Amino acid sequence: MPTPHPLRSPDAAPPGGAAPQAGANQGHGSTVKETFISIVIAFALAFVFRGFVIEAFLIPTGSMAPTLMGAHMRFNSPQSGYDWAVAPWFNYPGTQTPMPLQGGQQLERGQRFMGPDPSGPVVVHDPMTNAELRRVSEPRRWGDRIFVMKYLYSIYDPQRYDVVVFKNPRDPTVNYIKRLVGLPGEQVALIDGDIFARTVQTGDENVTNPWALPGWKAARKPERAQLAMWQEVFDSRFTPLSAMRDGSRWFTSPWVAGSQEGEWQIEDRRDYGYSGGAPTTLRWNDAFPILDSYAYNEPPPRQGGGPNGQYPVSDLRISMGVRPRGEGLTVSAVVEARRHEFRARVIPGGGDQSTAILEMRPTPVQAGADAAQAPWTELSSVNFKGGFAAGRATNIELWHADQSLRLYVDDRLVASAEYDWTPDERLRYALGMTLDEVAANDAALIFEQHYSRPGVRVEFSGGPFTLYRVALARDIHYRADTYHDYNDYVIAGERMLHSRRGQPAHGTHPKSTVILNQDQFFVCGDNSPQSLDARLWDVPNPWVAEMDRTTGVVNRDLLIGKAFFVYFPAPYRNHGVPVPDFGSMRFIW
């Protein structure tokens, strides 16, 4: 990772004021000496600060996108107003360096670069509406520039879900940035997209199936980290200005009404209205699968362009603003996931009081009975001040992530609950397979058709209302994988075979469970489908092996620090002039 020069101290200006003529030579000499000493001290302090406190880095690739942007192209849809980034398509021949203009003819020293259709346009699709955009000579932007706080172990230690910079164990001359998901002294497993961890016990390394051991817990994200890791699936604010083209409809909302369809107003609207008085439902259309796709990863058409999602994601966030036209509205948000239903209800009480209830139940597939007959298990019930008032919009959010539920009302957490499934239970509910069946099949977890698909619905009772900012987001899904055929080394122009090719990737199968000693960490990229991280590394570099021979871990001595601030986001161009994107400066969580 290239390192900018972030810390430069300006030369100190010599003091002003006239000196007596007789002492001019002596005063001038003293001033030069003092100035020189000041400069030396300033540079020394700058280097000490850079070496031990804060250092600046440039993000080169998209392994952490969209949390942190590497080199990319940026697009804005004229129909929806949505703004998003896509990785560069075209590199200089024989290199991994993106061309400065993407799409269209590009000349340098009189030679046209020959790549995958370098003279053709860049063709991408709006993630909100799937509208096609074509661009020629689209400027490539470089990645974000970030500040990294060095780890001072006597003061604070790395925490789970920190975004960390470290020396690549495969090549310690290169710096990597990933999210820290496994801590020293833990066993770590990636199961159905989530991180599971347990404390290592003596003899665990000899257990045939470590996922059957007691003590496994879903590693739940802190609120700020979870907020940073939600990935937008759809938001009604980005409904296109016109859904008709040449007399036919090209866009349809992924939200569909229940049985009272004639009383709903959804299509071609950014706010949804219901004019009836009977109970009703708004449901996510199953024709729009909720997958681990990334707009950043959209490839060129010749490389299989189109939807890049593969695995269903069941960790979801439902959010909307609700404005009832009368009193007494009850709202229930439901996530259907892993053969269960998870529900958050907001029930009006007396005055300005309301009740929030979080509950779950098995679906007919799991319970073997009609859904209406399956009993709900109450996880939490809380009375709170607030709720739905006639004529006023109230924001609600249901989070289902990391085997937990959170309900927010007007950005305030009013109820939360957790459920603790073991790895065996998680596999049975998510895949319909037992732990023994998974352990006997190295490839059981890499086939997307094995996973159950989630559903979403919102139930209303109590009269007409209007909905605003109706949105669905998904969590980051850490993919199961197998080690690739080739590793990241190229020697004499030939790619080198991976020493573990074809085996289950690190942490993604009972046979490859991560076991960390007191000086080891496990890291993954937020852009899980396109991240070369600890799941897939080959054996460490010989220099690193002298310190730690373990494959797929980061030793404590390789950690540099925690990324905490984007101080210079990728600039944009205004009439050809680069303009810093100061509005995207942000803290990193």
Q: Residues 204-244: pLDDT tens digits?
A: 888 889 999 999 999 999 999 999 999 999 999 999 999 98
Helix (H) or strand (E) holding 175: strand 171-182
Length of the chain: 589
Whether the predicted pLDDT of 1 surpasses 50:
no
Cα-Cα-Cα-Cα dihedral sign, residues 486, 560, 186, 405: negative
Residues 430-457 have pLDDT tens digits of 999 999 999 999 999 999 999 999 999 9
Please return the burial class of 456, using the count of CB atoms within 10 Å of its CB with bins 0-12, 13-18 and 19+: buried
Q: Is 415 helix (H, G, I), strand (E, B) or coil?
A: strand
The correct CATH number of 155-225+480-495+510-565 out of 3.30.210.10, 2.10.109.10, 3.40.50.2020, 2.40.10.500 is: 2.10.109.10
Higher pLDDT, 428 or 570: 428
- Of the pLDDT bands very low, low, confident and very high (cuts 50, 70, 90), residue 109 is very low
- Of the pLDDT bands very low, low, confident and very high (cuts 50, 70, 90), residue 494 is confident
What is the overall mean pLDDT for the chain? 88
Higher pLDDT, 523 or 32: 523
User: Average of pLDDT values for 239-251?
Assistant: 91
Residues 464-487 have pLDDT tens digits of 999 999 999 999 999 999 999 998
- The whole-angstrom separation of Cα 276 and Cα 58 is 55
Beta pairing partners, 139:
101
* CATH architecture of residue range(s) 231-238+250-295+314-474: Sandwich (2.60)
- Other beta carbons within 10 angstroms of residue 44's beta carbon come to 11
- The whole-angstrom separation of Cα 256 and Cα 136 is 37
Asked if 454 and 314 count as a contact pair (C-beta separation under 8 A), the reply is yes
Whether the predicted pLDDT of 583 surpasses 70:
yes
Distance of CA 18 to the CA centre of its chain: 61
Torsion of the alpha carbons at 244, 250, 256 and 260, rounded to the nearest 10: 40
**Reported pTM:** 0.88
User: Average of pLDDT values for 402-423?
Assistant: 97
Whether the predicted pLDDT of 3 surpasses 50:
no
User: Average of pLDDT values for 545-568?
Assistant: 95
Identity of the residue numbered 214:
P
Whether the predicted pLDDT of 107 surpasses 50:
no
- The whole-angstrom separation of Cα 70 and Cα 61 is 4
Sketch the domain layout of the chain as residue ranges.
Answer: 73-140, 155-225+480-495+510-565, 231-238+250-295+314-474
User: Average of pLDDT values for 112-125?
Assistant: 66
* DSSP H helices in 322-455: 364-367, 423-431, 435-439
- The whole-angstrom separation of Cα 52 and Cα 30 is 33
Q: Which of 551, 513, 556, 559 is nearest to 533 (CA)?
A: 551
Residues 500-518 have pLDDT tens digits of 999 999 999 999 999 999 9
Whether the predicted pLDDT of 16 surpasses 90:
no
Q: Which of 142, 68, 156 is nearest to 564 (CA)?
A: 68
**pLDDT score of 44:** 66
**pLDDT score of 448:** 92
**pLDDT score of 110:** 47
Identity of the residue numbered 461:
S
Whether the predicted pLDDT of 84 surpasses 60:
yes
Which two three-digit tokens encode residue 234? 């759809």
For residue 393, CA distances in Å to 345, 386, 409, 564 come to 17, 12, 11, 34
Higher pLDDT, 41 or 220: 220
Contacts of 232 (CB under 8 A, 6+ apart): 127, 128, 471, 473
For residue 453, the 8-state DSSP code is P
User: Average of pLDDT values for 1-7?
Assistant: 40
- The whole-angstrom separation of Cα 35 and Cα 44 is 14
- Of the pLDDT bands very low, low, confident and very high (cuts 50, 70, 90), residue 24 is very low
